[in-house]
Structure 1
Amino acid sequence: MAKGIITLEDIFEARKRLVGVIRRTPLEPSEIFSQMTGAQIFFKMENLQKTGSFKLRGAYNKIASLDQETQKSVVAASAGNHAQGVALAASEAGIAATIVMPEGAPITKIERTKIYGAKVVLAGQGYDDAFCRAQEIQQQTGAVYVHAFDDPFVIAGQGTIGLELLEDLPDLDAVIVPIGGGGLISGVACAIKEQRPEVQIIGVEALDAPCMKEACRLGKVHELASAQTIADGIAVRRPGDITFEMVQTYVDQIVTVDDEEIAGAILMLLENSKLVAEGAGAVGIAALLHKKCDLQGKKVAVVISGGNIDVNVISIIIERGLVKAGRYVRLRTIVSDKPGSLQRLLSALANSGANIISIVHDRIKPNIPLKQAEVEIALETRNSQHIAEIVETLQGMGYVIDILK
């Protein structure tokens, strides 16, 4: 097999450096997702790694390789996970760290990076803007730049996940790995293919940020005009030069999933496996659920790369997911403004089996006729058919019903 720039020996060396630093995250079988997909699914839970993602592996391996007598500071750009990995690794090594993050980075990721001891600079609207600002800082200060993905030591560190996968599941058939700039999949693919070349390596990108897939299509590194996705950890416009070469050498297939599919996977993991995954961490299961790759009957490891998701985003995803599944609905109607009118409506809803979450009764809106009141009700329902039955019942009672989006 043609060798990539990173060797298997590099990855084994990285593992030695990481002893006592990282957690060996579990590889857990998922019966319910196996039933859903027709494959034997195992989750590599890097969302349980220190700092909440796999990024500590590569960041620590890079920083541990530096001559700490002469290298006193590092700088990096990150959407959030690499930031925390670099901050913790630098703190452990007694090195100052400056991290440039996008202005829209999740507040939790910004605050945790600060807690780990790094100076945070906010710049631009995405990773690529932050990367440009970090390079300026590096040139001004002479600090060592710790690239989020296009660095041999970083890639080797991420590759330790591949070593663990083969040790924990020797008869593995396929691995599904998120792709942003390509550091994670490059390391994992090298570690596995150099030992078990028959194992299938499948990468997953966000549909609106397919930088590696596009580069492979063109046969050269290419920068996208934009990379907008809820999976901020893989919202990268340009893949790495090293990672592009390694993906061409080791990766069998790249597929894409859209934001609705990613959001649905986040919700499914939360509800069915009690796993908190960020957008990037959920793309692998999204690809399986939406049949983007044919792995029926295969033993498949899915890398859940991180769990650092903003709770506000989780709240939105949960609400939208429940609406889509017909398990949550908001209705609006008009009732007479007299005793017993609201009770009649609520009794009808109770008899229908719906659970009332909230209700707003407003009789002073300017556009509501006198002696009438507008009622908005949020309901917990069983499914879309249940909603249709409720609406039909209320319409039969004379109510005009609007379903609010």
Structure 2
Amino acid sequence: MQETRLDTARIRAARRVIDPQFLDTPLYRCEALEPALGCAVSIKLETANPVRSFKARGTELVASLLAEHGPQAVVCASAGNLGQALAWSGRGRGLDVTVVASRCATAAKLDRIRALGARLELVDGDHETARERAAAIARHDGIRLLEDSLDLETCEGAATIGLELADSAPSFDTVLIALGGGALATGIGHVLKALAPGVEVVCVQPLGAPALTRSWHRRRVVTTDSADTIADGVAGRHPIPAVLDDLLLVADDAVLVQETSIISGMRLLLAHAGLVVEPSAALGIAAVLEDRARFAGRHIATVVCGSNVDLDSYHRWIGMGG
């Protein structure tokens, strides 16, 4: 395999830095889901931790490195989950954390960022606008800018999930991974290609936010003018070239799914797995629902990557027909 930006030895070393609360998360066969999906299903659950998403695996690395040099300041743009994770990791290490987010971000995520003690700045526009503002703050104040998926700590932190999945391979044939900025997919994909190359790596993105998937298929960066999806955690419009280069090396496929399938996936995870998840976490189930024939008779693992969801919106989605 050609080399990505990631390093398996560094990923193994990351496990010694990350708070154990975020490691060795449950991976289990969920037989109750299988009649509806027509295949064997294992769930890798990344929501049973203090920030209810996988993001702290990466922010633990960032915060640890920054704290080695005494009190530091750091800023990031976030749709919500990265900001919570950075606030959590920074709080315990004396870091001054600023999070920039869209005013349209999920209110529950923004409330939690504030509760964790980070400075929160809201901007008009979407996540790409927040990224621009965070970069401007970093330049003006001379502080560390954390860029999700571009900064290797975010990818290699997420890649520790891959180590845990590889320990269980070859019990499953395919792993389905939510695709947004790319840290989760490139991290897990890197490890599986190195340690369990027989496992198919399939990335899943909403049809309403297709930039990185289209980029993967065309093998060049494709941007979009807008993003329209309930899966706010993966609603980027401007893929990062270095991330695309890595994704091209580790992903076997990248697929797009409709909003109705995402909602159906959320409903199935609640009804048959007892899991309340945010839309991004249901993308893997949505992919199976849209192409049952492809996965029939196979054993898939899906990464349930976050459960930070606005409950009013959640109840509205789950109550919808479809």
Confirm or deny a common fold (TM above 0.5).
Answer: yes
Classify the secondary structure of the residue corresponding to 2:47: helix
Partner of 1:259: 259
Answer whether contact 1:77 1:100 (CA < 8 A) is retained: yes
What pairs with 1:35-114 in structure 2 (closer than 5 Å)? 35-66=35-66, 68-69=68-69, 72-114=72-114
What pairs with 1:106-255 in structure 2 (closer than 5 Å)? 106-255=106-255
Partner of 2:299: 299
Q: What CA deviation, in whole Å up to 9, does each residue of 1:194-215 have, x standing for no partner?
A: 0111210000000011111111
* Distance in 1 separating the partners of 2:156 and 2:203: 18
* Distance in 1 separating the partners of 2:313 and 2:210: 22
Query: One-letter code of the match for 1:233?
Result: G
Shift in Å at residue 171 of structure 1? 2.9
Classify the secondary structure of the residue corresponding to 1:66: helix
Q: What CA deviation, in whole Å up to 9, does each residue of 1:315-357 have, x standing for no partner?
A: 2112213xx4xxxxxxxxxxxxxxxxxxxxxxxxxxxxxxxxx
Q: Larger radius of gyration, structure 1 or 2?
A: 1
Query: One-letter code of the match for 1:44?
Result: K
Answer whether contact 2:170 2:196 (CA < 8 A) is retained: no
| 1:292/1:208 CA distance change after superposition, 3 Å | farther
* Distance in 1 separating the partners of 2:14 and 2:98: 24
Answer whether contact 1:10 1:156 (CA < 8 A) is retained: yes
Shift in Å at residue 223 of structure 1? 1.8
Which stretches in structure 1 are left out of the alignment for 5+ residues?
Answer: 325-405
Which stretches in structure 2 are left out of the alignment for 5+ residues?
Answer: none
Classify the secondary structure of the residue corresponding to 1:99: strand
Shift in Å at residue 63 of structure 1? 2.1
| 1:210/1:150 CA distance change after superposition, 3 Å | same
Shift in Å at residue 219 of structure 1? 2.1
Classify the secondary structure of the residue corresponding to 2:15: helix
* Distance in 2 separating the partners of 1:16 and 1:301: 25
* Distance in 1 separating the partners of 2:208 and 2:183: 19
Shift in Å at residue 153 of structure 1? 1.2
* Distance in 1 separating the partners of 2:79 and 2:187: 20
Q: What CA deviation, in whole Å up to 9, does each residue of 1:177-202 have, x standing for no partner?
A: 00001110000001111011121000
Fraction of identical pairs, as percent: 30
Partner of 2:287: 287
Q: Pick which of 98-107 and 63-72 moved more.
A: 63-72
Query: One-letter code of the match for 1:119?
Result: R
* Distance in 2 separating the partners of 1:34 and 1:50: 29
Partner of 1:372: none
Answer whether contact 1:48 1:306 (CA < 8 A) is retained: no
Classify the secondary structure of the residue corresponding to 1:93: coil
Q: Please tell me whether residue 318 in structure 1 is matched to residue 281 in structure 2.
A: no
Q: What CA deviation, in whole Å up to 9, does each residue of 1:221-269 have, x standing for no partner?
A: 2221111100000000012223211110010000111111111211121
* Distance in 2 separating the partners of 1:274 and 1:230: 21
Partner of 2:29: 29
Shift in Å at residue 37 of structure 1? 2.1
Query: One-letter code of the match for 1:61?
Result: L
Answer whether contact 2:189 2:251 (CA < 8 A) is retained: yes
Classify the secondary structure of the residue corresponding to 1:254: strand
Shift in Å at residue 42 of structure 1? 0.4
Shift in Å at residue 293 of structure 1? 7.2
Answer whether contact 1:255 1:293 (CA < 8 A) is retained: no
Partner of 2:20: 20
Answer whether contact 1:71 1:144 (CA < 8 A) is retained: no
Classify the secondary structure of the residue corresponding to 1:48: coil
| 1:58/1:293 CA distance change after superposition, 3 Å | farther
Query: One-letter code of the match for 1:258?
Result: Q
Query: One-letter code of the match for 1:187?
Result: G
Partner of 1:277: 277
Q: What CA deviation, in whole Å up to 9, does each residue of 1:5-24 have, x standing for no partner?
A: 10211211211211435242
| 1:293/1:233 CA distance change after superposition, 3 Å | farther
* Distance in 1 separating the partners of 2:292 and 2:61: 33
